[in-house]
């Protein structure tokens, strides 16, 4: 790594490595069963996130007829989730810092369930919109809290792949939504499409009832004995003193009172910029144009049949899942930065190719190039901006305001998701598909440069070591 990333980044990496693993108690993998299960249950929040964002593409076909929706009303139904998610992420992070991760996630599951029931039973378009906004709030709460919860229970050397379970669950949720949409399309079963989400919501909420609170949040609340018990159970050993001491030390910064204003502290500003920047870049590089509009894009690229386009879309969903699995294998070994930079480079190339395939699609020969480019583009996203954004924003903020900061970054992500989703079709009309994808390609170039200069390597570090790194002011990479 030192050879690959020159200059001040190298200093950063070396410093982090030399203060590294000796201080961390490394439990044996076979004793980690409980923490793996806990992360798996919490990740169900991601499955609901993916399912509920993906399901609309299948259901939308029937909603128009059922409620005689105008295009604008349909857009409101689609955007309702994103608006709710932005609001949920922003407020949920704060609530989870105040009331705890576990309680908030149980409430999140109840909200998901209520939203699913309302949408499935909707008798009017306004009931549907309200249902979708409620589902959106659930998604926002989950995106603001699940990664933090997993990050705080995970041992440092496995945190990368465990938090990435959240992204894996999102991709599985999206794929399931495509499959369920396809399965119920024949009977116009849009109510089923929405209603199916009730089952994972119930499993998620019930599962969370049996999981402990985050040991880091307990320490922050002064519940030291409980924090010790939870940590010992999670780590499978009583030797957790070092980790507990580090957590307590990270809370000793009296200047931070756990309020929004702490974010303006100079030493925390680089972390704030890193999280919000990545949140914006994850969206403005265009991933959801493919996730939400793949069949439409594929048809206009020259794939004639609707079923061919839907099949190719399912293929794209499967690539998303598989490549996220690959990222999970690599993330704690290779580190976050190499994966991030390689994946974004792949996105730049594939967006350029996508633009080319549209430029010549009128000749009818390059539809295959569009399909392959889209698959490779999603694959590149799945090993980089997909999992690494959610991972980084769960690990780079100080404990006292961790969830609030994560929520803030997540709400930026939802806000820009909304912006891209609402402007994509208009951009295609104005600029043409080819230029639109090149525009996202230009954003991907900016995203690579941003990541190179502003994103730190956090592999193998405890959350407290990462916190100390920012405080020491060693993060200013651009003079
Ligand atoms: C993004 C979502 C996107 C999904 C695709 C997530 O990381 O936040 O907006 O739909 O990845 O896999």
Please write the tens of the pLDDT for every residue from 16-62. Answer: 333 333 344 455 555 678 889 999 999 999 999 999 999 987 888 78
* Euclidean distance between CA atoms 84 and 398, whole angstroms: 26
Q: Whose CA is nearest to atom 5 of ligand 1?
A: 171
Of the listed ranges 95-109, 348-362, 429-443, the least confidently predicted one is 348-362
* Euclidean distance between CA atoms 283 and 301, whole angstroms: 22
pLDDT, average across residues 317-331? 96
pLDDT, average across residues 311-335? 93
Nearest of 247, 39, 270, 52 to residue 148 by alpha carbon? 39
pLDDT at 13: 37
pLDDT at 69: 84
> The tokens of 318 are what?
């499967």
Scanning the structure block, which residue is given the tokens 């790194």? 469
> Which residues line the pocket of ligand 1, CB cutoff 6 A?
53, 167, 170-171, 174, 282, 287-288, 291, 320, 386, 413, 417
User: In sequence order, what are the residues at sequence separation of 6 or more whose Cβ sits closer than 8 angstroms to the Cβ of residue 138?
Assistant: 48, 52, 84, 88, 108, 109, 111, 112, 115, 201
Mutate-to-test residue for ligand 1 from 143, 170, 285, highest number of ligand atoms within 8 A of CB: 170
Contact 81/177 with Cβ under 8 angstroms? Answer: no
Q: Whose CA is nearest to atom 11 of ligand 1?
A: 386
Q: What is the pTM of this model?
A: 0.88
> The tokens of 115 are what?
């939203």
- Assign residue 456 a region (left: φ > 0; alpha: ψ between -120 and 50; beta: otherwise): beta
| Percentage of the chain modeled with pLDDT above 90 | 56
pLDDT at 362: 62
Number of Cβ within a 10 Å radius of residue 281: 21
pLDDT at 259 over 80: no
Expressed in angstroms and rounded, the spacing between residue 170 Cα and the centre of ligand 1 is: 7
Mutate-to-test residue for ligand 1 from 386, 394, 424, highest number of ligand atoms within 8 A of CB: 386
What is the per-residue pLDDT across 367-398, written as a single tens digit (0 to 9) for each? 788 889 999 999 999 999 999 999 999 999 88
Expressed in angstroms and rounded, the spacing between residue 168 Cα and the centre of ligand 1 is: 10
Taking the alpha carbons of 251, 253, 259, 264 in that order, is the dihedral positive or negative?
negative
* Euclidean distance between CA atoms 11 and 13, whole angstroms: 5
Q: Whose CA is nearest to atom 7 of ligand 1?
A: 386
pLDDT at 298 over 80: no
pLDDT, average across residues 274-289? 96
Q: Whose CA is nearest to atom 1 of ligand 1?
A: 386
Number of Cβ within a 10 Å radius of residue 453: 15
| Percentage of the chain modeled with pLDDT above 70 | 89
Expressed in angstroms and rounded, the spacing between residue 244 Cα and the centre of ligand 1 is: 34
Query: Angle CA(256)–CA(261)–CA(262) in degrees, nearest 5?
Result: 30
DSSP 237: S
Of the listed ranges 309-313, 323-327, 359-363, 378-382, the least confidently predicted one is 359-363
pLDDT at 62: 86
Mutate-to-test residue for ligand 1 from 167, 325, 415, highest number of ligand atoms within 8 A of CB: 167
pLDDT at 386: 97
Give the CA distances from residue 256 to residues 218, 250, 253, 270, 405, in Å, rounded to whole numbers and listed in that order: 17, 11, 6, 16, 13
* Euclidean distance between CA atoms 259 and 281, whole angstroms: 26
pLDDT, average across residues 107-115? 98
* Euclidean distance between CA atoms 92 and 138, whole angstroms: 9
Alpha helices in 301-401, H assignment, sequence order: 306-330, 336-359, 367-382, 385-395
4-9 contact pairs (CB < 8 A, 24+): 4/338, 5/337, 5/452, 7/477, 8/477, 9/457, 9/477
Average pLDDT of every residue of the chain? 86
**Residue 433 or residue 298, greater confidence:** 433
pLDDT at 94 over 50: yes
pLDDT band at 478 (very low <50, low <70, confident <90, very high): very low
Give the CA distances from residue 55 to residues 77, 104, 123, 135, 331, in Å, rounded to whole numbers and listed in that order: 12, 24, 19, 12, 29
> The tokens of 464 are what?
């407290």
pLDDT at 405 over 70: yes
- CATH architecture of the domain covering 5-471: Up-down Bundle (1.20)
pLDDT at 208 over 80: yes
Of the listed ranges 155-164, 271-280, 318-327, the least confidently predicted one is 155-164
CA 7 from centre of chain = 30
Helix (H) or strand (E) holding 216: helix 215-220
Q: How many residues does the structure list for the chain?
A: 479
Q: Whose CA is nearest to atom 12 of ligand 1?
A: 171
pLDDT, average across residues 302-307? 72
pLDDT at 364: 56
Q: Whose CA is nearest to atom 3 of ligand 1?
A: 288
pLDDT at 351: 97
Number of Cβ within a 10 Å radius of residue 448: 21
Mutate-to-test residue for ligand 1 from 55, 136, 279, 288, highest number of ligand atoms within 8 A of CB: 288
pLDDT band at 476 (very low <50, low <70, confident <90, very high): very low
**Residue 256 or residue 268, greater confidence:** 268
pLDDT at 75: 79
pLDDT, average across residues 115-137? 96
Expressed in angstroms and rounded, the spacing between residue 388 Cα and the centre of ligand 1 is: 11
């Amino acid at each position: 790594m030192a050879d690959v990333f020159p200059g001040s980044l190298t200093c950063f990496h070396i410093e982090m490595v030399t203060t590294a693993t000796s201080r961390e108690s490394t439990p044996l993998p076979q004793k980690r069963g409980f923490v793996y299960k806990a992360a798996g249950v919490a990740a169900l929040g991601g499955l609901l996130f993916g399912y509920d964002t993906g399901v609309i593409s299948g259901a939308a076909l029937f909603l128009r007829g059922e409620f005689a929706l105008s295009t604008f009303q349909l857009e409101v139904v689609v955007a309702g989730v994103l608006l709710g998610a932005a609001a949920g992420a922003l407020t949920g992070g704060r609530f989870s810092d105040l009331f705890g991760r576990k309680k908030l996630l149980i409430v999140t599951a109840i909200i998901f369930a209520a939203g699913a029931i309302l949408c499935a039973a909707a008798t009017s378009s306004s009931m549907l919109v309200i249902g979708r906004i409620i589902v959106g709030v659930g998604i926002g709460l989950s995106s603001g809290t699940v990664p933090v919860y997993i990050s705080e229970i995970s041992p440092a050397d496995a945190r990368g792949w465990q938090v990435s379970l959240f992204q894996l669950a999102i991709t599985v949720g999206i794929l399931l939504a495509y499959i369920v949409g396809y399965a119920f399309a024949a009977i116009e079963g849009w109510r089923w499409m929405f209603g199916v989400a009730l089952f994972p919501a119930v499993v998620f909420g019930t599962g969370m009832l049996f999981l402990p609170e985050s040991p880091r949040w307990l320490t922050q609340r002064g519940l030291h004995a409980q924090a010790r018990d939870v940590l010992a159970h999670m780590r499978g050993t009583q030797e957790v003193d070092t980790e507990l001491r580090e957590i307590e030390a990270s809370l000793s910064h009296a200047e931070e009172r756990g309020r929004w204003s702490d974010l303006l502290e100079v030493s925390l500003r680089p972390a704030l910029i890193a999280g919000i920047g990545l949140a914006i870049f994850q969206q403005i590089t265009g991933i959801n144009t493919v996730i939400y509009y793949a069949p439409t894009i594929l048809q206009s690229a020259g794939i004639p049949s609707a079923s061919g386009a839907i099949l190719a879309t399912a293929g794209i969903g499967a690539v998303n899942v598989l490549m996220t699995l690959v990222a999970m294998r690599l993330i704690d070994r290779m580190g976050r930065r190499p994966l991030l930079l390689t994946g974004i480079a792949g996105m730049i190339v594939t967006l350029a190719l996508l633009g080319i395939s549209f430029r010549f699609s009128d000749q009818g020969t390059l539809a295959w190039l569009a399909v392959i480019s889209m698959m490779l583009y999603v694959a590149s996203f799945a090993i980089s901006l997909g999992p690494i954004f959610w991972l980084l924003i769960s690990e780079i903020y100080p404990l006292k305001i961790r969830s609030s900061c994560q929520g803030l970054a997540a709400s930026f992500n939802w806000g820009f998701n909304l912006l891209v989703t609402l402007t994509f079709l208009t951009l295609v009309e104005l600029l043409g598909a080819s230029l639109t994808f090149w525009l996202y390609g230009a954003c991907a170039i900016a995203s690579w440069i941003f990541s190179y200069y502003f994103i730190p390597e956090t592999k193998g570090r405890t959350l407290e070591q990462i916190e100390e790194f920012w405080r020491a002011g060693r993060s200013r990479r651009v003079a």
